[in-house]
Structure 1
Amino acid sequence: MEVAHLHELSELEQTYWWHIAKRELVTHWLQEHVPAPARVIEGGIGSAGNLLAFQDRGYDVAGLDIMPEAVAYGKERGIEDVHVHDLGQPWPFEADSADAVVLLDVIEHVEDPIAVLEHAARVLKPEGKLLLTVPAYQWLFGTWDEALGHYRRYTSRRLEQQTVAAGFQTLQLTHWNSFTLPAAVGVRTWQKLCPQRKSAEFPRVSPLVNQLLLGCASFERACSRFVNIPCGLSVAGVFSKRAIPADVNRNLSRSISSVERGSHGH
């Protein structure tokens, strides 16, 4: 993430519908699957808005981010246990010490997502929970993704393959943000027909539209309690750490990693 995008994030995350809706979805899942008090580690903290929300609900929180500016934001906002760290390297926490790990729109930014997921699994307690969101559909990959430094977009199957390889089992897997998919398809098609400069700015909306989109997200979240949302701009899920034989895990990780390396051509 560029520093300018981090500054934009810090300004928007408390008011912009997309940030609020995603945080409400994940907070609901966290409270459902890992009730407070519990230890929660977030990888890729951004400007620490999620950690603050979790802390306000009684969780003991910690976080990692490769950007010193992001960690500085976290400390300024009262989150002490945040550290500058590359998620692709072993995490600086004891094994089996966390009840939940949260990775929101993170693993699409790394070349080896399975390594990151394996580090997350190591710090989780037995049957600890992993909460994930990723952007959906490789065919939507465009200048927005390039500006944000994405390696890939996801299908549910691709995400499940990677989490299984890292030692997780799926508890819940669904799409999110279905209601803006038609508009996104139109915008991405136009961008491919008429290439423009790379930009990672969130499209501005009026206060009325912002509230309307929040209402759509709330309705979708209510529906997802009963059915999996079949399409949407993101894939979201809850996964549980599981014990699998080391040789099986290693062979599966190697197989999927080789496929990932072959698909990095955006």
Structure 2
Amino acid sequence: MRQGQQVNQGEGFHAEDFATLAQLESDSFWFRARNQLILWATKPLLRAGSSFCEIGCGTGFVIAALAKEMPLVKFSATELFGNALPFARKRVPSADFYEMDARDIPFRSEFDVVGTFDVLEHIQEDERVLAEIHKALKPQGKLVITVPQHPFMWSHQDERACHVRRYTRAEMTDKLKRAGFSVDLTTSFVSFLLPLMYMARRPDRVDSPEYDPAADLRLNPVVNAVMLLVMAIERQFIKVGVRFPFGGSLLLVATKF
């Protein structure tokens, strides 16, 4: 299957994987490092009394981190798969959760900030989702988004994850602009680890019948700690203004106009 081909009848995820994710996310260098970058990008956009909604919250790992750092913000989250929401509600009892399709968001001018983190790549109609998010945001509201980057990184691993695409920076910024956003910030991340990530996605590895899609979340603790340190160093560069052109993922902040 090639990039852009419909996956899994548009469902976009293996719902049975949520229990595994809920168990492994908190130790995984990838989820922990991504959370730290999301916190860095999102905290300046919110103040006491602000409203934030995460589209496609999964097990609630991201929104739990945000709520812990910003207890005076009103948090909401949506998820297509209802069996993920018990994990999310347990993590953030104070938030409002909705079982909802991101292609049909009922809110209008409701939120100061919306976040969606590694969700768009699962949805064929990604521009429709961006248009719906635009409607849900207040005037001058902010969108924080992460997506997997570089079509040349496409592999069977993406197919197993029910992705329909990996983005280029130009594609993502163009789609945001067409949806009515101006782009404030864009940077790649997982940049220092991109060569290792590329090697890990070799066809001879991920096409093997013995390949375990969750293996990357069960790394040796020493290797996991080293990866976390590398991501922390990378994040410090981003914080001081370095914007990486290449990386396994892409972070963007945009404003509704």
User: Smaller-chain TM-score range?
Assistant: 0.7 to 0.9
**Aligned residue number for residue 5 of structure 2:** none
Deviation at 1:36, TM superposition (A): 4.1
Is the contact made by 1:131 and 1:237 (CA closer than 8 Å) also made in structure 2?
yes
C-alpha distance after superposition, 1:134-171 (max 9, x if no partner) = 11111211111111111100111111011111111111
Match of 1:163 among 172, 176, 182: 176
Cα distance in 1 between the residues matched to 2:49 and 2:62: 16
2:255 equivalent in structure 1: 240
The CA RMSD over aligned residues, in Å, is 1.7
Contact 1:5 1:201 in 2 (8 A): no
Matching residue within 180, 186, 189 for 1:173: 186
Following superposition, the deviation at residue 3 of structure 1 comes to 2.8
Partner of 1:122: 135
Residue of structure 2 aligned with 1:42, choices 54, 58, 69: 54
Alignment gaps of 5+ in structure 2: 1-12
Q: Return the alpha-carbon distance in structure 2 between the equivalents of residues 199 and 150 of structure 1.
A: 17
Q: Which residue of structure 2 aligns with residue 221 of structure 1?
A: 235
CA-to-aligned-CA distance 1:192-250 (integer Å, 9 cap, x gap): 8x8324753241222222222111111111111211012110011111111xxxxxxxx
Query: More displaced, 213-222 or 77-86?
Result: 77-86
For the pair 1:200 / 2:213, whether they are aligned, the reply is yes
CA contact (8 A) 1:175 1:229 kept: yes
Report what 1:102 is aligned to. Answer: 115
Counterpart position of 1:66: 80
Query: Which residue is equivalent to 2:33?
Result: 21
For the 8 Å contact 2:74–2:95, the answer to whether it is kept is no
Contact 2:77 2:95 in 1 (8 A): no
Alpha-carbon contact 2:147-2:249 (below 8 Å) kept = yes
Q: Give, in whole Å, the separation in 2 of the partners of 1:189 and 1:206.
A: 20
Distance 2:62 2:200 in 1: 28
Distance in 2, Cα, partners of 1:64 & 1:33: 20
1:155 and 1:17, CA in 2 relative to 1: closer, same or farther beyond 3 A?
same
Contact 2:45-2:113 at 8 Å conserved across structures: no
Displacement of 1:47 in angstroms is 0.5
CA distance in structure 2 between the aligned counterparts of 1:187 and 1:218, rounded to whole angstroms: 21
Percent identity reads: 26
* Secondary structure of residue in 2 paired with 1:211: helix
Aligned AA for 1:76? K
| 1:143/1:36 CA distance change after superposition, 3 Å | farther
How many residue pairs get matched? 239
- Tell me, in whole angstroms, the C-alpha distance in 1 between the residues paired with 2:59 and 2:94: 11
Please point out which of 127, 148, 153 is paired with 1:140: 153
Where structure 1 has 5 or more consecutive residues not aligned to the other structure, the ranges are: 243-266
Indicate the larger mover: 145-154 or 74-83: 74-83
Q: What is the CA–CA distance in structure 2 between the aligned matches of 1:113 and 1:60, rounded to whole Å?
A: 26
Whether the 8 Å contact between 1:74 and 1:80 is mirrored in structure 2 is no
1:86 aligned partner: 101
Cα deviation digits, residues 54-106 of structure 1 (max 9, x gap): 222222111111101112222233155111111111x132x211011111000
